Amino acid sequence: MSTHSVEDIKKSSARLRGTLLESLANPVTGALDEDDQTLIKYHGSYQQDDRDIREERRQQKLEPAHAFMIRTRTPGGVVSPEQWLELDRIATTYAERGLRITTRQAFQFHGVIKRELKATMQAINAALIDTLAACGDVNRNVAVAANPHESAAHGFVHAQAATLSKHLLPNTRAYYEIWLDEERVAGSGEEEERIYGDAYLPRKFKIGFAIPPYNDVDVFAQDLGFIAILEEGVVAGYNVSVGGGMGATHGDPETYPRLADVIGFIAPDQITAVAEAVITTQRDWGNRILRKRARLKYTIDDRGLETFKQEVERRAGFRLSPAHSFDFVHNGDRFGWVQGHNGLWHLTLRIVAGRIWDREKPHLSGLREIARTLLQVGDPQQPPEFRMTANQNLVIANVPADQCWHIDSLVASHGLGEHVQASPVRLNAIACVALPTCGLAMAEAERYLPDFLTRVETLLDKHALRDQPINIRISGCPNGCSRPYLGEIALVGKAPGRYNLMLGASHQGTRLNTLYRENIDEAAILAELDALFAQYANGRTSGEHFGDFLVRTGVVISKSLSLELVA
Ligand code: SRM
Ligand code: SF4
């Protein structure tokens, strides 16, 4: 481990340069210098190793099989068909595990080796996509309600989110020098970092834009949320929410998931000022001694919500208006075709755990065919797009009506049509990456999800509940990358094959679940669910969701977020 603290590494990095160039050039190891392992995150990459073969390599006295994960910055998860084809080519050329859609509408490539890292970064940038600030103690990829062509307002919100994402990028040429061979000029390394300052933020920071009635970005899990309020189809402004976050550590009560609080309402042109005020307050007030307490949610709990709000208003230079009322119906995706306001059609496909490769079914090939088709048949005035959702699914957007059949046939012939028949439980489930690439995983998640769902479906069939839209989430550890604490049923990894069973979140992403059974194996999990499904089948009221039923009947005790809005 590096003897330098993350705070020291950030401050002495010459605006995120460190010795990355030297580390990358070192042919002796597949790894980076330890401090550079921290810095490369700000460039959108993580050093990892293949955990499936870690022990084997240790016994052979070899260094771990180091490889890099690269994450894109794609606000709202939008790419063109041309970009899709490039991402596909990059995945096929450099990455081991295909394309991976993340829970924040980005792409990840896994298994890129050090000597190919620069070529991969260059190829991503050549596709006009960057990876700057996709990771690190800065604002991350901005999540936005999917399907933005559904109404003009959706497009407006997406454009605001993309502008904000750009505005909040760190001010450094390091990215361009290291990856794109830009010449280093006088003054580089001392760029003015007006928003972040020399030490960047105390911890990662996340922003999400939701458009009621859908909460597909899980806005209450974001550090900063903007909830669009529409009046006669036009965005009148946004309710602002602050202090959401999922990460926790097993057995440490000082860490916990927290839902964001709604603190008021702003006009659309006040977004940048509010975002800067929240971020700079967190920059100055956040805990820089204890990283585990450094997220905004703890700053707010330590200082008090009202004090925090007043400081944000002071820095923004205006007061927030009373929040407007709004309602969410669910936090999942809507599958299948919908028609947008522009007359074009959008198809949401189910992608299991966001992984796209040609393993069991030719998904990568199928989407390649779809991208090629869209290039030929799309309307140039309203070009087709691929849009990732924050639930790891994929929208094929802006398809002319007379081409829907063509897309449907490609979907069917490449096994991409799960949305047509799968149970709601299967469609809505999400799982984080976990093993073999995640260095923090304690148990399987992505690789376990399909089998676990099959077993749960068997139980649901037994109780005639297959049609119930129960929201299931699996994370390989308590960091919560699949936002498990917002699952009606969630497994949070504890050890290989063992999980904490969490129950009782709401279907709208407005109530956290609670721990029901600790550190149990699959047989015990299924036995618990079997008993609870039996109770649910017999005792539910009309339309009652599973999570709500568990809370109403006292199986778990959990408090909903109060949407009684702060004046
Ligand atoms: Fe995450 C760390 C993957 C969304 C909370 N997350 C990691 C790392 C980088 C592991 C590490 O630090 O070494 C994982 C890399 C795994 C791999 O092999 O790819 C990882 N997180 C992911 C992704 C890919 C999960 C997925 O299956 O899609 C998501 C990428 C999002 C993106 O595109 O930016 C991802 N992570 C999330 C979310 C969900 C969200 O943002 O909506 C959360 C919970 C919300 C939150 O931030 O509170 C989340 N990830 C964490 C945490 C806990 C942070 C905390 O406050 O304690 C960690 C650990 C850390 O930061 O120390 C973490
Ligand atoms: Fe890794 Fe844990 Fe995040 Fe899953 S929840 S990707 S295991 S850090």
Give residue 566's pLDDT.
39
Residue that has been written with the tokens 């001392």 in this structure: 190
Give the pLDDT confidence of 257-289 residue by residue, as tens digits.
Answer: 999 999 999 999 999 999 999 999 999 999 999
Q: Which two tokens stand for residue 259?
A: 């839902």
pLDDT band at 562 (very low <50, low <70, confident <90, very high): low
The verdict on whether 438 is a catalytic residue reads: yes
Please state whether the predicted TM-score (pTM) of the whole model is above 0.95.
yes
Q: What is the mean pLDDT of residues 326-349?
A: 94
Ligand 1 atom closest to Cα of residue 390: 42
The verdict on whether 135 is a catalytic residue reads: no
For residues 229 and 236, is the Cβ–Cβ distance under 8 A?
yes
Q: Are strands 234-242 and 99-101 parallel, antiparallel or unpaired?
A: unpaired
Q: How far is the CA of 496 from the centre of ligand 2 (A)?
A: 13
- Give the mutation target among 440, 449, 483, 486 for probing the ligand 2 site: most ligand atoms within 8 A of CB: 440
Res 379 pLDDT > 50? yes
Give residue 149's pLDDT.
73
pLDDT band at 1 (very low <50, low <70, confident <90, very high): low
> CB-based contacts of 528: which residues, under 8 Å, 6+ apart?
501, 516, 517, 520
Ligand 2 atom closest to Cα of residue 480: 5
Cβ density class 109-119: b for 16+ within 10 Å, e for less? bbbbebebbbe
Give residue 184's pLDDT.
87
Give residue 475's pLDDT.
98
Give residue 563's pLDDT.
56
Q: How far is the CA of 433 from the centre of ligand 2 (A)?
A: 6
Bigger pLDDT: 440 vs 381: 440
Residues in the ligand 2 pocket, defined by CB under 6 Å: 432-434, 438, 440-441, 445, 475-477, 479-481
Cβ atoms within 10 Å of 127's Cβ, excluding its own: 19
Taking each helix axis from N to C end, the angle separating 114-126 and 81-94, rounded to the nearest 10 degrees, works out to 170
Q: Residue 313 is inside which H or E element, if any?
A: helix 305-316
Give the pLDDT confidence of 408-420 residue by residue, as tens digits.
Answer: 999 999 999 999 9
User: Which residue CA neighbors atom 59 of ligand 1 most closely?
Assistant: 479
Give residue 378's pLDDT.
85
